[in-house]
Structure 1
Amino acid sequence: MKSAVETLNPTRVRLTVEVPFEELKPSLDAAYKKINQQVTVPGFRKGKIPARVIDQRFGRGSVLEEAINDALPKFYTEAVSEGELNVLGQPDVDITEFNDGQDLKFTAEVDIRPAIEIPDYSGIEVTVDALEVSDEDIDKSLEQLRERFASTSPVERAAAEGDVVVLDLEASVDGEVLEDGVAKGISYTIGSGQLLEGIDEAVIGLEAGGTATFDSELKGGSAAGKTSSVKVDVTSVQARELPELDDDFAQLASEFDTLEELRADSVKRLENMKRYDQATQAQEKVLDALLELVEVPMPEKLLADEIQTRKHNLEHHQFPAMGLDWDSYLEREGKTAEEHDAELGAQATKGIKTQFILDELVSKEQLSVNQEELTEHLMRRAASSGMSPDQFAQAVVEGGQVPMLVGEVARGKALAVVVEAAKVTDTNGETVDLDDEVEDEGAVTVEAGSDEETATEVEDAAEATSDKA
């Protein structure tokens, strides 16, 4: 086999491949064997039909077609390996010349990972929010804790904002009550925004036994997206009472004996949260600065596929759950289709560019992923997915998501290297020491390389994760 590589642009090549006819013999033999198992010819046992009979009865062309379909992937892979190409996605293959007994000639155009030069990134400087916990932050945190321990008691008066009302709902569309539009005994806090739009205005001012009707667009169910006439009956009005902010409350809501101790713990928790936010902000700003430094040619087909994937996920996975279609989604976002497509394109471009740069850094810095790092990442991903660690690990291995997971960890480590080299100061001009705050969060998930060793390592990590669980 002979192959040649022609560079069409920095992200796409054309392979020209010539295969001597004799190298097709294994695929021809396999084609005859396959056809033998699929057809019957009177006078011959199944699987024992001579090749000449198959040629006569079914045509030599069908055999050659089957053989080429079998052989092309193998010869294409050999040509990619010979050319030392890092290909992306599937090739566009064109058979340029082939006759029985003669050489097979074909071309394959395919996107490749562009060559990237990583410049010196040690000069990156970013500014993040200062780590400051105000009295207002502390008061808000304690107020939220009081809300969690609020009690309710029935009152004989009209409902007001902040009250808890018990409701019966009945939704109708075009005068017909929906089968899934009836609900009874729903407890709702007025002003929380957790039910239908317009319900607050409808129930405020009603006493127990009161009834009102209002129009609202349904967000889910059989009539999602349609405007419904909703009848609401108030069966109970309850006032919410917050506990006093004192030592008794501290003992009720925490392991502390005094309000002073609870307040001090709130300060510590808020500082930790803001420190994590600070690290995340630094990570994002350093990444943006790195993207500005590096020129990355963009593979057009890869970008188009990524945009299409994102649109498909929106339309077929997120829209049904939210009761939306494209028109209602764009209306909610306040964007035109053109504006949304431009935004989606920019997001996809940034995602692919980020992956290319961080993968190049993984190679440049010779970063690797060990089993412990992989296990820790599995545990975090499992927690965010709502699955148990062993279930998530098993799903990753069975779903062939090993390369993606390894890539996430490696790219996270690469970004951490850049963040560590950057100068990070806060808005007060103080140098920020991020220590171990920067982890492998948020690495871009675009396909990465894989091998058997990595797969085995992930399987070991999966077992380790199950043991920890």
Structure 2
Amino acid sequence: MKSTVEHLSPTRVRINVEVPFDELKPDFDRAYKKIAQQVRIPGFRPGKAPARILEARIGRAPVLDEVVNNAIPTKYQEAIVTSEDVKPIGRPDIEVTEIADGERITFTAEVDIRPEFELPELEGLTVEVDETEVDEEQVTEQLDQLRARFGTLTGVERPAQTGDFVQIDLSASVDGKTIEEATTTGFSYEVGQGGLIDGIDEALEGMSAEEEKTFTSKLVAGEYADRDAEITVKVTAVKERHLPDADDEFAQLASEFDTLEELQENLRERLGQSKRMEQATQARDRLLDKIVEGTEVPLPESVVQGEIDNRLHDAVHAFDHDEERFAEFLASQDKTREQFDAESREEAETAVRYRLVLDALADREEISVNDQELTERILYQAQQYGMAPEQFVQQIQQAGQIPAIYQDVRRSKALIDAVRAVSVTLPNGDPVDLSDLLGSDDDEDEDASVVEGTVESVEDSAEPAGDDTPDTAGEKADVKS
């Protein structure tokens, strides 16, 4: 087999492949066997008719079609493997250019590739992160949240105010029609908590038991999502929360500590550790921003378009793919479709650019991923989705997503290695040592809480169509002859 590569642009190539017929004998054998199973020929059992009899009955063309359609993806993959400087992204556009029966088959494959670009050297780079100082207000806030978990609710004969718990009945209607899924009774809600229905807190403020009020709000889900609805709320009880005293007795009740001072010190340490984790997150995200800002990255258009398509699909899916409802939603946000499309393209280009930079980092540092690291990421994601690991693995296998997860882990490791290689400082210039969180260069057991989510922090969870995962060279393509 002969193959040559033409670079059409920094992000796209055309691969010209010529396959001699003597390399296609196994493909012809498979084609004859398959066709023989499908064609009934008198005097022969299914699958036993000789090749010459089959061709005499059905002609040569169906055999050639079967050979071409099955052999070309394999030959394309072989051409990719032998072209070491070509790293394809996504599906190729394949066109058969010649079938010289008995001599050769030639075809071309145009495909987007990972572009080549220069990354800045990490040595000498500095990344600034925030201070980790914990103030007493934060400790008090944490303590109050803990006290709230052990608080008691007492009914009161007064109007509700922020922080009270109310028991309410809710109903909603659109154009006079009651929305069953938006109706509930005996619901307990903390006034001022938010996240239930826009306008509910303002309505509840000042209401007493057995009072009822109606207000207008947009529904956020269901058949009438983003439609104005008349919301009726009735308060059946108002309760005030009483917190236990912050003393040694409470510390013994709520924790393993004997004194309030010990509990507060523990909360202070936990806050400090949380801020240290925030420093590690800032370091990796700000370093990646700095690398991307200093790098010219040509963007493969098909990958960008795939990312745009995914974003549009996700957006319209929330409206059951009803374009009119989606347009109404955009109008309610004072946004045109043109603005949405422009924002989607900008976000897609950013996501693809960051992925390409991470992949280049991983290549330069020769990052690999072992089975344990891949398994740990799969288990982590299964937990994030609230799924049993076996069920999650089955789904990602069926969807062909394991290579994408592999690539995510590789990108995460590359970025963690990059953070280790640069200087991390506070705003005043003092150095910050993150080795206890990131591990050393020789430590393969990076802290999972830092590694997990590295890629997600710089891009949306949706993978672009045809992401450059290790198996893209083997993807099936539409063959045009």
Same fold? TM cut 0.5: yes
Partner SS state of residue 145, structure 1: helix
User: Who is 2:76 aligned against?
Assistant: 76
- Note if 1:262 corresponds to 2:263: yes
- Note if 1:386 corresponds to 2:407: no
**Post-superposition shift, 1:332?**
7.0
| Cα distance, 1:339–1:126 mapped onto 2, change above 3 Å | farther
Separation in 2, partners of 1:16, 1:254: 70
Letter in 1 for 2:422: A
User: Who is 1:272 aligned against?
Assistant: 273
Map residues 340-351 of structure 1 onto 2, 5 A cutoff.
340-351=340-351
User: Who is 1:112 aligned against?
Assistant: 113
| Cα distance, 1:99–1:365 mapped onto 2, change above 3 Å | closer
User: Who is 1:202 aligned against?
Assistant: 203
Partner SS state of residue 180, structure 1: helix
User: Who is 2:288 aligned against?
Assistant: 287
| Cα distance, 1:167–1:130 mapped onto 2, change above 3 Å | same
- Note if 1:9 corresponds to 2:9: yes
Answer yes or no: is the 8 Å Cα contact 1:89–1:111 preserved in 2.
yes
- Note if 1:449 corresponds to 2:470: yes
**Post-superposition shift, 1:277?**
0.6
Separation in 1, partners of 2:332, 2:129: 31
| Cα distance, 1:57–1:373 mapped onto 2, change above 3 Å | closer
Comparing 118-127 with 355-364, which one deviates more in the overlay?
A: 355-364
Letter in 2 for 1:162: G
**Post-superposition shift, 1:95?**
1.7
**Post-superposition shift, 1:331?**
5.6
Partner SS state of residue 179, structure 2: strand
- Note if 1:440 corresponds to 2:481: no
> Which deviations, in whole Å up to 9, do the C-alpha atoms of 1:191-248 show, x marking residues without a partner?
1113222223333333222222222211123322222222222221212222333333
Map residues 395-414 of structure 1 onto 2, 5 A cutoff.
400-414=400-414
**Post-superposition shift, 1:427?**
1.9
Partner SS state of residue 220, structure 1: coil
Comparing 273-282 with 419-428, which one deviates more in the overlay?
A: 419-428
User: Who is 2:245 aligned against?
Assistant: 244
**Post-superposition shift, 1:109?**
0.8
Answer yes or no: is the 8 Å Cα contact 1:180–1:222 preserved in 2.
no
**Post-superposition shift, 1:372?**
4.7
User: Who is 2:225 aligned against?
Assistant: 224
Separation in 1, partners of 2:382, 2:296: 35
TM-score, normalising length: structure 2: 0.83
Letter in 1 for 2:82: E
| Cα distance, 1:367–1:103 mapped onto 2, change above 3 Å | closer
Separation in 2, partners of 1:27, 1:40: 21
Letter in 2 for 1:203: L
**Post-superposition shift, 1:256?**
2.2
Answer yes or no: is the 8 Å Cα contact 1:130–1:428 preserved in 2.
no
User: Who is 1:20 aligned against?
Assistant: 20
TM-score, normalising length: structure 1: 0.85
**Once superposed, what is the RMSD of the aligned Cα atoms?**
3.0
> Which deviations, in whole Å up to 9, do the C-alpha atoms of 1:68-125 show, x marking residues without a partner?
1122112222222232332221111112222544532221111122223333211211
| Cα distance, 1:14–1:43 mapped onto 2, change above 3 Å | same
Letter in 2 for 1:118: L
Separation in 1, partners of 2:115, 2:469: 14
Map residues 9-408 of structure 1 onto 2, 5 A cutoff.
9-42=9-42, 44-84=44-84, 85-316=86-317, 326-327=326-327, 330=330, 335-388=335-388, 392=392, 400-408=400-408
Separation in 1, partners of 2:397, 2:173: 47
Partner SS state of residue 408, structure 2: helix
| Cα distance, 1:30–1:369 mapped onto 2, change above 3 Å | closer
Separation in 2, partners of 1:59, 1:349: 50
Partner SS state of residue 430, structure 1: coil
Answer yes or no: is the 8 Å Cα contact 1:408–1:440 preserved in 2.
no
Separation in 1, partners of 2:386, 2:407: 22
Separation in 1, partners of 2:359, 2:252: 51
Identity, in percent, stands at: 47
Partner SS state of residue 158, structure 2: coil
Separation in 2, partners of 1:373, 1:70: 35
Where structure 2 has 5 or more consecutive residues not aligned to the other structure, the ranges are: 439-449, 456-462, 473-481
**Post-superposition shift, 1:146?**
2.7
Letter in 1 for 2:405: L
Answer yes or no: is the 8 Å Cα contact 2:247–2:259 preserved in 1.
yes
Letter in 1 for 2:32: Y
Partner SS state of residue 285, structure 1: helix
| Cα distance, 1:55–1:380 mapped onto 2, change above 3 Å | closer
Partner SS state of residue 219, structure 1: coil
**Post-superposition shift, 1:185?**
0.8
Comparing 303-312 with 345-354, which one deviates more in the overlay?
A: 345-354
**Post-superposition shift, 1:432?**
1.0
**Post-superposition shift, 1:159?**
2.4
Partner SS state of residue 436, structure 1: helix
| Cα distance, 1:70–1:173 mapped onto 2, change above 3 Å | same
Separation in 2, partners of 1:418, 1:108: 36
Partner SS state of residue 16, structure 1: strand
User: Who is 2:426 aligned against?
Assistant: 426
Separation in 2, partners of 1:186, 1:193: 14
Separation in 2, partners of 1:328, 1:259: 55
